[in-house]
Structure 1
Amino acid sequence: MTTGPRSAGPTPATAGSGAPKVVAEGVPSALRPDPGWDDGRRPVAWLRITAPGRGTTPSVRSWCVCGRDLFAAGQRRALALIADHEQHRTLCPRITPAQEGRKAA
């Protein structure tokens, strides 16, 4: 019989399956890729619009992986930032990299 601290070992799952034991509700003890959901796409540009209702000021925040982080408050400025965000998504080199050999228009 050993006394004192020992290293933790894996706990076998119930019902004889080889699945890792769950440490906490919904948290598996080992990270494994889930091939069923990853299609290779990643979020690269975000637009968060907050329009709480009448009599309040709408706000917009635009983020991009290139480092863009803009904020606008008020209806006119919010609408302008939404349009600017849409344009940025077509021009950002991190989202739409230039194709080699492509000639400028």
Structure 2
Amino acid sequence: MGEPKGVAEGVPIAVRPDPHPGDGRYPIAWLTICAPRNAIPTATSKCLCGRNRSAIGHGKVHALIADHESHRETCPLRTIQEGRAAA
């Protein structure tokens, strides 16, 4: 009962450092676009602040993409995070 055992008995456990250490950032908004060939495109824009919008059709999907990009500047969750980082 000296050393902890791995998956199989007699296999030592090797703990390695995380190869992808986080930098403190994490996603808060997602833009999902589905544009199958020869079909009508659809898109959804979701954010942890509660925003949840969708669009169907070429023109509306392009408008939603632009709206999603502009939401990055006005999202209350994003502005709070940037304020904390600046302090």
> For this structure pair, what is the TM-score category when the shorter chain's length is used for normalisation?
0.7 to 0.9
More helix by share: 2
Moved over 6 A (4+): none
**Looking at CA atoms only, which structure, 1 or 2, has the larger radius of gyration?**
1
- Could you say what secondary structure the match of 2:55 adopts? strand
Alignment of 1:60-79 (within 5 A): 60-79=43-62
Q: 1-side partners of 2:42 and 2:24: how far apart?
A: 31
Deviation of 1:16 after TM superposition, in Å, equals 4.8
Tell me the TM-score normalized by structure 1.
Answer: 0.61
Amino acid at match of 2:73: T
Q: Which runs of 5+ in 1 are unaligned?
A: 1-10, 21-33, 101-105
2:12 corresponds in structure 1 to 17
Q: Which runs of 5+ in 2 are unaligned?
A: none
Amino acid at match of 1:52: P
Tell me the TM-score normalized by structure 2.
Answer: 0.72
Residues 49-89 of structure 1, C-alpha deviations (whole Å, 9 max, x = no match): 111012x1000100101010111000111111100000001
1:40 corresponds in structure 2 to 24
Deviation of 1:35 after TM superposition, in Å, equals 3.9
Q: 1-side partners of 2:19 and 2:13: how far apart?
A: 19
Deviation of 1:96 after TM superposition, in Å, equals 2.0
- How many residues matched? 76
Q: What is the RMSD of the two structures over their aligned residues, measured on CA atoms?
A: 2.5
